[in-house]
A and B are shown apart, each in its own frame.
Chain A
């Protein structure tokens, strides 16, 4: 691990000191509108979410299931642009104190310019990036830029990853290692794989001190179970669905309910 202080790592450590662990909440920028996506993100934090993960809508999201796809397609068709992500981060940070990670596929960053993207994210008050289609071995430019700017960088670990690759993810992630609970795309699942627990154990063996489990999580019970062996639990599709069905108030209520899973 590097000596750069990680805003996300700090928030997750604090949640683990005070409660069973951290709740990480995902919402896409621009859904159902830019203003509503900002209000919804603020509502998450006001209802117990420790770390925000804002998704930048992308035309070809290979890791995303139907709920998030539908939301991001709508956001794009309504004219959501890359720069809206920086606007959203800035406006959210002016209202609440939780660190904000951007979740983005790699091509938008590449086209904007890796350095320029990082600098603008820093200016907006963002904490770093989650890169679902950029692995450590393909990400030399992002490693250099994130070290220069001090941004957090979250890489993914999968049940099928070798120990050597897990070590690569652990050594190069800053904030947390995104632990993919199950082999599949995003979307709520009733039963979480035992694979998540096993993978978390393997990541600890490689020296991970901050791991969060994501994909398929939709209830406070699941969160409580995950926080028994991980430092954070990530909820995405369930929140997006609540926002789609019931608006900002509904997503706030779901966050409050989910955050009961972080109690010790």
Chain B
């Protein structure tokens, strides 16, 4: 099943089902036909210039592609003077990189005749993007969201409902993102004829990791070209936050063969990787099977999935996409933990120095960049995936910085 490449082959050519020893398809037989159908449809669409043209047009006229680069010199001063440049996926329609994958899969769902989209969501960004695409394509939409997350991301729940989607709070298990995935798979098993499961990250069974990657890799392709135009060269490092890993793979992928470019993924360390309260899957986990693929995951000795923790709902996931596990195992990308505290400090710093409110997820990449800049020194150029905007996080951040009280009212 694994592609055999000569040692000099492009790292970009990996197309599943396995990335090294990671990936695969560990799923109930009831879903295999749907996964095969999706894989076949995707392989055909990939070869169809019309599909690419339609997707590119949606990117241009609906998402707002290409997203711009913004250099942040005042923020850079805190990063050892390294030159820091943001790839502004936060400026996309719906507020994050998630829309890229969603439009690709929704277009594919339309081609295979599915009229109902289901999705899982953590922070709500993927749910909002899916609800948006469903409205755009005239499809029915159901979003599964852990009950805990519906509470901490109430604004996104309202957004999804305004867009016409049904949001189902998931009360099983730990009531967070992983349980929302379980519930979405259960829905899909029962409704596979009518329904496409629009998985929101580069995890899950084949073909999701490779398909989602292909829909988000536009981020890095644009950024690589834009960096050459802006700075005359490739960056020394590319940074991104990693939950499931979609924005990270999106910006890393174009640079995989540029071996001089360091790739850095920042996982949520929550209260610290030496506490049980974190979501640092590659740093602290070990290989196992979760949600249909083999990758790193947080688990106990019996293989039971452990609860994860992060102040950011979008990174609060005990697994990670198999391509990241592979990139870590071959040493091509580095994965490092960032605590809630460090992420929130970087969040505040970007707000006050540059007038940009980032998503708390993206703030993990910013915190990592501050440290990396000090490590690499003032001659280094660092490209950061600013994967989402912080509008959805204003309440969490407002409370964290005592700008809002516990009820969400302004403190004066």
Additional A-B contacts beyond A60-B305, A62-B28, A111-B299 (18; CB < 8 A): A61-B182, A62-B186, A73-B173, A82-B302, A107-B305, A109-B303, A111-B288, A112-B303, A132-B28, A133-B26, A156-B28, A156-B30, A161-B33, A165-B32, A180-B30, A183-B30, A183-B189, A183-B190
Taking the closest CB of chain B, its distance from the CB of A200, in whole angstroms, is 15
Distance A81 CA – B285 CA, assembled complex (angstroms): 20
Q: Contact at B32–A184, with CB atoms within 8 Å?
A: no
Task: Enumerate chain A residues within 8 angstroms of B28, measured Cβ to Cβ.
Answer: 62-63, 132-133, 156, 158
Partner of A58, one of B190, B292, B304: B304
Task: Enumerate chain A residues within 8 angstroms of B302, measured Cβ to Cβ.
Answer: 81-82, 108, 111-112
Task: Enumerate chain B residues within 8 angstroms of A161, measured Cβ to Cβ.
Answer: 29, 32-33
Partner of A135, one of B27, B186, B191, B290: B27
Chain B binding surface, main DSSP class = mixed
Q: Which 9 A-B pairs have the closest CB atoms?
A: A111-B303, A160-B33, A108-B303, A184-B190, A158-B30, A82-B302, A107-B303, A156-B29, A59-B305
Distance A59 CA – B298 CA, assembled complex (angstroms): 12
Q: Contact at B189–A138, with CB atoms within 8 Å?
A: no
Residues on B lying within 8 angstroms of A by beta carbon are: 24-30, 32-34, 172-173, 178-179, 182, 185-186, 189-193, 288-292, 299, 301-305
A157 interfacial by beta-carbon distance below 8 Å = yes
* A112, A158, A161, A165: residue with the most chain B Cβ atoms closer than 10 Å: A158
Distance A173 CA – B151 CA, assembled complex (angstroms): 45
How many chain A residues touch B (CB < 8 A): the figure is 40
Taking the closest CB of chain B, its distance from the CB of A133, in whole angstroms, is 5
* A62, A76, A156, A184: residue with the most chain B Cβ atoms closer than 10 Å: A62
Partner of B288, one of A65, A107, A160, A180: A107
Q: Contact at B304–A59, with CB atoms within 8 Å?
A: yes
Distance A62 CA – B120 CA, assembled complex (angstroms): 14
Which residues of A in the span 49-87 have a Cβ within 8 Å of any Cβ on B?
A: 58-63, 65-66, 69, 73, 76, 81-82
Q: Contact at A183–B192, with CB atoms within 8 Å?
A: yes
Closest to A57 in B: B304
Closest to A161 in B: B29
Task: Enumerate chain A residues within 8 angstroms of B189, measured Cβ to Cβ.
Answer: 62-63, 183-185
Task: Enumerate chain B residues within 8 angstroms of A73, measured Cβ to Cβ.
Answer: 172-173
5 A–B pairs (Cβ distance < 8 Å), ordered by A: A60-B179, A62-B27, A158-B32, A162-B33, A185-B190
A31 interfacial by beta-carbon distance below 8 Å = no
